Amino acid sequence: MSLGIEDAAKHSASLESTAEAVMHAKTLLVELDRRQNQTREGIRALRSQQEAQHRRRQDFEDANKVTLETQSEVRARISTLVGMPGVTPFAPIGTAAPQSSLTAHQIPHTFVSPQPMWLLCSGGTFIRTNQTRAYDKLLKTQHETHQQVEDTRQELKVMVADLARLEGVDSALARANEGFGLAGR
């Protein structure tokens, strides 16, 4: 009769350890989901910041094009007027009028270069990096977290099936878990 008590104790201990493993896996899934959401928020913030920089760059170039076009239109009008009596060009006679060779693409501006930023890594460590590297790091973290979630879900399915087996065929968990092994388990 002591064997029956020992078997029951072993069965109860394995049932309890499996249930704890299931609870741990569920807690891990919640933590991974939180990390996924934070990474998704970071990626979205960087995208919107890059879009805003791109819009500012476009606005700057558009404003510069208007200025350059206006200057060229003025020069064209002046060159047509120079031949008229009483109109003098800006440059003294015998010297060429200064031509602006500066174009919108040659104007240095701060929107093109990636701005440095601080990125929070695991363990509360901050790293100073540029936006491109931060974006790449967040994409890599998102992919790794997605893989961890998928792996943990697969492990959880196996643990729940083991828990249902340990509880017996009459348990509610065993009845609820009947149809989940259809994918060629």
1 is written with which tokens? Answer: 């009769």
Residue 124's pLDDT is what? 80
Residue 179's pLDDT is what? 58
Question: Are the C-beta atoms of 45 and 165 separated by less than 8 Å?
Answer: no
* pLDDT band, residue 78 (cuts 50/70/90): low
Tell me what the mean pLDDT of segment 17-25 comes to.
92
* pLDDT band, residue 11 (cuts 50/70/90): confident
146 is written with which tokens? Answer: 């997605």
Would you say residue 40 has pLDDT above 80? yes
CA dist., res. 130 & res. 52, Å (int)? 16
Which residue type does 120 have?
L
CA dist., res. 92 & res. 87, Å (int)? 12
What is residue 120's three-state secondary structure? strand
